[in-house]
């Protein structure tokens, strides 16, 4: 059994994706990376939507990684930006 998991980012928080990505990328590698499989937590967005007229160019986003790294990443993001607490759905394995 692998340790791969994801945490979806709520649709009403998609405008915060650049902030979330910057926060995750600024974390030390040992926080972003699983000690067991070395997989790094990353933000992935769905394919770009056409004709957004300045709106958010994608419809879905999630943070992918392993249980261990996702727990550390979310804890660190929320410590840095507590207002993002409502942006994350429950973790899915």
pLDDT of the chain, 93 residues: tens digit per residue: 457 899 999 888 888 988 999 999 999 999 999 888 888 999 988 765 555 555 555 668 899 999 889 999 999 999 999 999 999 998 887
Whether the CB-CB separation of 89 and 6 falls below 8 Å is answered with no
In this prediction, residue 52 carries a pLDDT of 55
Find the CATH number of the domain harbouring 20: 3.30.70
| Angle, CA of 82, 39 and 93, to the nearest 5° | 70
Q: Whole-angstrom Cα distance, residue 40 to residue 29?
A: 8
Q: Whole-angstrom Cα distance, residue 10 to residue 88?
A: 6
* Number of domains, the chain: 1
> For the CA atoms of 44, 46, 50, 52, what is the dihedral angle to 10 degrees?
-60
- Boundaries of domain holding 61: 4-92
pTM: 0.82
């Amino acid at each position: 059994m692998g340790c791969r998991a994801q945490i979806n980012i709520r649709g009403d928080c998609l405008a915060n994706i650049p902030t979330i990505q910057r926060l995750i990328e600024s974390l030390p590698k040992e926080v972003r990376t699983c000690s067991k499989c070395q997989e790094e937590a990353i933000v992935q967005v769905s394919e770009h939507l056409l004709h957004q007229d300045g709106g958010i160019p994608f419809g879905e986003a999630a943070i992918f990684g392993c249980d261990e790294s996702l727990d550390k990443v979310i804890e660190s993001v929320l410590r840095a930006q507590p207002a993002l607490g409502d942006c994350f759905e429950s973790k899915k394995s």
